[in-house]
Amino acid sequence: MLEDNAVEDIALSAFLDGNPVATFVLNREHVITYWNHACEQCLGYKAQDMIGSSDQWKPFFEQKRPVLADLVLDGCGEAGFQEYYDVAIRKSPVVPDAYQVETHFPKIGPHGKWLQFTAAPLRDKEGKIVGAIETVEDVTERREAENELREAHASLEQVVDVRTGELAKVNAQLLQDIDQRQAADEELRLQNKELTELNEKLKMAQEQLVQSEKLASIGQLAAGVAHEINNPIGYIFSNFTTLQDYLSGLFKIVQAYQDAEALIGDPKVLKEVKRIREEEDLDFLKEDIPVLMNESKEGIVRVRQIVQDLKDFSREEPKDEWQFSNLHHAIDSTVNIVNNEVKYKADVVKDYGDLPDIECMMSQINQVVLNMVVNAAHAMGEERGEIRIKTRVDGDMVRIDISDNGSGIPKDVLPRIFDPFFTTKPVGKGTGLGLSLSYGIIKKHNGSIEVSSEIGQGTTFHIAIPLRQTKPFEGAADE
């Protein structure tokens, strides 16, 4: 039997290692007793190197000094905190006796990180402090977003100042002939007010519109996916209903054989058994039941694959999380979930090369493939067409060509197809964000996307993506 303290230590260790928040624990001697996996990922120091030491300062500072947990463990008040931190330290709104601080650490990562700490004392049953626990949260993205927002606000104020100055000059000129230009001045004022309101609305709605394009793609496919699922489910239920009838007959045969065991020498019993066997057609059941079961298994596999592909497509990834993924698997999954949108209009032909796993954000690449394949299906005329997806490696790039033999794109439209909100579809049939979103995603992957088209011959989108992401994206991708 383990002692109570040992059991508690095991439970606490399992809890901390499963906690996604970076967390470490100090005992009353300021020695690290726990350093969870999230700490290793966030701070870059392994638990095996930290546990048992008093090196909790190393990930943060160049020289040894107390961290927030050390100060809480020593019972320092707010005045004692200010000796080591030149930023505001506040009490935690949810944890008693806990304190929070947020500051920048240039030592962590290539460009430094903004971290938020929360430290609280650990007490025994008598209320004495026997240790301290500290959590570390990376808030760099939030702080950078706040800085960008402030810069954008300052830029907007500058634009407003410039516009105000320009308007003042215009107003001065208008005052020279107030009788003749009074109507024009009022119209200009109203237009300026409307423009300001529209700019504010556009600023708030643009990101929502771009994101809604992704959701709209799934929404447009919902009915088709439901149809694809209902078909195999339908014959599964039908087969199992028939199977129940078959099994009922088999049970009658089995029961007859059981009843006949003791009377096997009775001709009447043997005749009755034979009659039931012929009536229920046992030989046919032996042949048909395996067929029904195989069909049912195939239907179940189809349902599971359709649902899994839809889950893979709609899965959210953490922002800027690059992973090595199988491109062909992603294309297959995406084509599978748009099958109902495409299958009545065109055949999809896959011409795959030998590709290694590529470093990318696969859910975003899925979105690009979906946009291209659905657009190609919409480009088909009355006759059934063909959509071809070709992949190959070209040096350090992977190339994807998605072509169709549909109606083609007019030359005067080609230069505008990647513009946001540009669409040739009727009102209510498209947002004009699909190709713009695809363009932004490929640029974010440091790749390129080009198009060639001939009226009546079809269209080909040429996509190139690096096998490995060796440099950060320097533009602004629409996500």
**Could you read off the pLDDT tens digit of each residue along the chain, which spans 479 residues?**
334 454 455 556 666 777 788 899 999 999 999 999 988 888 889 989 899 999 988 888 888 889 888 888 888 766 677 777 777 788 888 777 888 888 888 878 777 888 888 888 988 888 888 899 998 988 888 888 888 888 888 888 888 888 888 888 887 787 877 777 777 778 888 888 888 777 766 655 554 454 555 555 665 565 566 566 766 776 676 776 777 677 777 767 767 775 665 555 667 776 777 777 677 776 777 677 777 767 776 676 667 666 666 655 555 555 557 889 898 988 888 888 788 778 888 889 999 999 999 998 888 888 888 888 888 888 887 888 899 999 999 999 999 999 998 888 888 888 777 776 656 554 444 544 567 778 888 888 899 999 998 888 889 999 999 999 887 655 444 44
Cα separation values, 464 from 388, 446, 474, Å: 16, 9, 17
Q: Where are the beta strands (DSSP E) in 154-221?
A: none
- What pLDDT shows up at residue 234? 67
Residues 123 and 72: beta-carbon distance below 8 Å:
no
Q: How far apart are the first and last CA of the chain?
A: 55
- What pLDDT shows up at residue 462? 93
Domain ranges for the chain, please list them.
Answer: 4-138, 145-207, 224-313, 320-466
Residue 454's DSSP bridge partners are: 458
Q: Given this chain, do its domains 4-138 and 320-466 carry the same CATH topology? A: no
- What pLDDT shows up at residue 437? 79
Residue 348's DSSP bridge partners are: 387
- What pLDDT shows up at residue 429? 47
Residue type, 41: Q
- What pLDDT shows up at residue 465? 93
pTM: 0.42
In the numeric block, the tokens 């290539």 are attached to 110
CATH number 3.30.565.10 is the correct assignment for the domain at 320-466: yes
- What pLDDT shows up at residue 391? 94
Task: Count Cβ neighbours within 10 Å for each residue of 279-295 and write b for 16 or more, e otherwise.
Answer: ebeeeebeeebeebeee
CATH number of 4-138: 3.30.450.20
- What pLDDT shows up at residue 428? 44
Indicate the DSSP class of residue 262. Answer: G
- What pLDDT shows up at residue 219? 54
- Could you write out the three-class secondary structure of 324-375? EECHHHHHHHHHHHCHHHHCCCEEEEEECCCCCCEEECHHHHHHHHHHHHHH
- Could you write out the three-class secondary structure of 82-113? HCCCCCCCEECCCCCCCEEEEEEECCCCCCCE
Write down how long the chain is: 479
Residues 240 and 293: beta-carbon distance below 8 Å:
no
- What pLDDT shows up at residue 301? 66
Give the list of residues 6+ apart from residue 21 with CB closer than 8 angstroms, or none.
38, 135, 136, 137
Residues 363 and 330: beta-carbon distance below 8 Å:
no
Give the list of residues 6+ apart from residue 12 with CB closer than 8 angstroms, or none.
25, 34
CA distance 171 to 206: 33
